[in-house]
Structure 1
């Protein structure tokens, strides 16, 4: 059983091939605005280098958000195309869940934070318990300052992952430095990884949680800025 993982929900474009026994291959391109140009060729090279054909894939796992509206659509469109043409099951993986998988079996609290613009982040809180990832909060959009307050109230060490981590640490109260109660994962583990999307997707696949190219949906936690501006000008449809 091999599963292809895809994540283009941020400035990072990444693809990975995972089997039940090992990580076979992973490519990461941390270069803004190249997803549409690079994703297909990245996946093609990944599979070629891993001597794997599309027909050998048991599933495709793709990050469905929250994150960049355009990035999410690019990754999902690619996954839907592969699913439709090759009749491969899809697994939609929440971006925040996937980021928490970057720190598998970590003993501290894990708080993924994805930049939602306008001083807000998409976030959730997790803990690994007995080999399983437990979600402690609902997914939410929150002001950075309010998130810091809530994390400090926990009185536990929390590790941040995701592109919103810098927003959080830069807003820490005066006298509190990053690393005391709130710390950022190493930059290699703080960014999106398709291997984590694949790992989370494999877990869901084995639990029977799959969809197809028509039923998979993006996970948008709010309307895009363009949609909000349209409604301000023309009203809701």
Structure 2
């Protein structure tokens, strides 16, 4: 049996799920304003392993949300995942945070735009088809009334940016799914297992979260 522990800490949601053959069997998570990841994460891991009546040595791999997202949240999740991989000598799987968020949407057509709050009107976002094919790579961008205006299909927006974006994204084909706010380890289960089956893993020693903000550094004008 392939047990994979999935860790999602890229946003305010601290989430851990245990999956068997790609199916979630236990998930614990909590979203708090104060970012309680450091206090909650290891407790969730211990509780899930205990409640599933397995041992850590039964894990075939550890999967972690790779970002983009909160710098602190990502560091906590990746540090925990790396520590487990080293101790258990199992592979590390990195899962795209925005793909995880997009996978919470169940539609048959249109496009899905998962967004994670950055600051002010800035968001981290990507564009996926209804079948989760990535149509546009991840960007950090400022949302304006002209954002996504070239898209004629129905666009489903999800994430923790919906409230601030509604005032500027007002086209008739824009749909905001407010119930879907944060990515969860629950949806990582299928994604991480798909990667596990083809040995799509990352180097435990050198893997770093995808902060994305690194791409926004510019030189000052003189």
Tell me the TM-score normalised to structure 1 length: 0.84
Give how far 1:216 is off.
1.8
SS of corresponding position for 2:213: coil
Please say if 1:139 is aligned against 2:138. Answer: yes
Give how far 1:21 is off.
5.8
Match of 2:30 in 1: 29
Match of 1:110 in 2: 112
Match of 2:177 in 1: 185
Pair 1:21–1:66, CA change in 2 (3 A): closer
What are the equivalent positions in structure 2 for 1:16-165 lying under 5 Å apart?
16-20=17-21, 22-32=23-33, 33-103=35-105, 106-129=108-131, 133-145=132-144, 149-165=146-162
Rounded to whole Å, the distance in 1 between the matches of 2:50 and 2:107 is: 32
User: Does the 8 Å contact 2:56/2:88 carry over to 1?
Assistant: yes
Rounded to whole Å, the distance in 1 between the matches of 2:60 and 2:139 is: 32
Match of 1:235 in 2: none
Match of 1:197 in 2: 188
- Calculate the aligned-residue CA RMSD, in Å: 2.2
Give how far 1:23 is off.
1.7
Give how far 1:186 is off.
4.8
Deviates further, 39-48 or 14-23: 14-23
Give how far 1:152 is off.
3.4
SS of corresponding position for 1:124: strand
SS of corresponding position for 1:55: helix
Tell me the TM-score normalised to structure 2 length: 0.89
Rounded to whole Å, the distance in 2 between the matches of 1:107 and 1:153 is: 17
Match of 1:9 in 2: 10
User: Does the 8 Å contact 1:83/1:212 carry over to 2?
Assistant: no
Pair 1:36–1:21, CA change in 2 (3 A): closer
Runs of 4+ aligned residues of structure 1 deviating over 6 Å after TM superposition are none
Unaligned runs of 5+ in 2: none
